[in-house]
């Protein structure tokens, strides 16, 4: 192909690093393919307010999807956890490359883990999911709203605005900052966000050349996992307004999906939170996610989902 493919992305250092990873993979699978990167500024980048008040899921992707739909870019690279479960018309996730570490990590000023922090410690996080699960581990800490890119959040901790902050290990790994983690939470301690650690490579559904190109970097296991997680979130419909976490992986040839949902005012001792698990065939990812969501709704989660 002589065509130059334009890749749309946010302008943050992490977003550009993800584009670099995708571009390297594309050039390895299709040597000589002409690629061009175009930065797109999103609503999430322009606003400093909490995500729940400025639009939730989609604030970091809508402008890029608009450029993709308009033909201004040919390929969009997103952190998959930022992408709404319902895509804009005419667009499709062409590939999900191999997934990075899905876990969450705690950054602290002096390297102390969560258990060693003072009572009342302020822990920066903009995610209700992280706040609820932090309080289940330490009911006496204070989850506090924090915004900004990875480097900004770490700086806010280091300058003393917060005692710590919870960040995705994937971002730290891609930026070469794993050493900043004072503690890495296990999946059992803190279920990740839907799609955390995964990259979505989005294209126009009718662009056969772009589809053929990006499919060369597809990872089948990562695709099945995020499809199950996204089906779970789609069925619950909570977006970033409710604490929702999910993680799917391949174990012994089967797809294992774990999920949780909680009310915003969940008690640290566990009231108002629902957890579940399903296993199934890798080809039934979408159905598996829907079934697990239905399990939690039947347990009682429907009460606060319906109240949204």
Mind telling me the catalytic residues? 82
CA distance 95 to 222: 10
Q: Are strands 164-168 and 254-262 parallel, antiparallel or unpaired?
A: unpaired
How many other CB atoms are there within 10 angstroms of residue 225's CB atom? 27
Q: Distance between CA 217 and CA 167 in Å, rounded?
A: 26
Tokens encoding 45:
């980048």
| CA nearest to 171, candidates 7, 45, 21, 6 | 21
DSSP 90-122: TEEEEE-PPP----EEEEESS---GGGSPTT-E
Count Cβ neighbours within 10 Å for each residue of 81-107 and write b for 16 or more, e otherwise.
Answer: bbbbbeeeeebebbbbbebbbbbbbbb
Q: How far apart are CA 230 and CA 225, in angstroms?
A: 9
Please check whether residue 220 is in contact with residue 228, taking contact to mean a CB–CB distance below 8 angstroms: no
DSSP, residue by residue, 9-46:
E-SSHHHHHHHHHHHHHHHHHSTT--EEEEE---HHHH
In this structure, are residues 171 and 164 in contact, taking their beta carbons and an 8 Å threshold? no
Distance CA 230, CA 1 (A): 33
């Amino acid at each position: 192909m002589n065509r130059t493919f334009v890749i749309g992305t946010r302008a943050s250092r992490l977003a550009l690093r993800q584009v670099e990873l995708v571009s390297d993979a594309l050039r390895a699978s299709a040597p000589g393919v002409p690629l061009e990167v175009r930065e797109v500024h999103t609503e999430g980048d322009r606003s400093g307010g909490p995500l729940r008040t400025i639009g939730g899921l989609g604030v970091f992707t809508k402008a890029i999807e608009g450029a993709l739909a308009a033909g201004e870019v040919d390929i969009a690279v997103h952190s998959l956890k930022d992408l709404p479960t319902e895509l804009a018309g005419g667009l499709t996730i062409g590939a999900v490359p191999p997934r990075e570490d899905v876990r969450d990590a705690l950054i602290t000023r002096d390297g102390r883990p969560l258990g060693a922090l003072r009572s009342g410690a302020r822990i920066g996080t903009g995610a209700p999911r992280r706040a609820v699960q932090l309080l289940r581990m330490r009911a006496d800490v204070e989850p506090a709203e924090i915004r900004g890119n990875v480097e900004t959040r770490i700086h806010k901790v280091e300058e003393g605005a917060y005692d710590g902050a919870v960040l995705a290990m994937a971002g730290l790994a891609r930026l070469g900052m794993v050493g900043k983690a004072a503690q890495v939470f296990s999946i059992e301690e803190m279920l990740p966000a839907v799609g955390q650690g995964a990259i979505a490579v989005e294209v126009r559904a009718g662009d056969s050349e772009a589809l053929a190109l990006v499919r060369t970097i597809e990872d089948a296991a990562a695709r099945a996992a995020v499809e199950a997680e996204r089906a779970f979130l789609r069925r619950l419909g909570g977006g970033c307004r409710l604490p929702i976490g999910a993680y799917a992986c391949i174990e012994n040839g089967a797809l294992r999906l774990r999920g949780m949902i909680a009310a915003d005012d969940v008690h640290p001792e566990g009231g108002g939170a629902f957890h579940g698990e399903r296993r199934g065939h890798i080809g039934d990812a979408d159905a598996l996610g829907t079934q697990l969501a239905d399990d939690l709704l039947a347990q009682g989660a429907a009460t606060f989902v319906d109240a949204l």
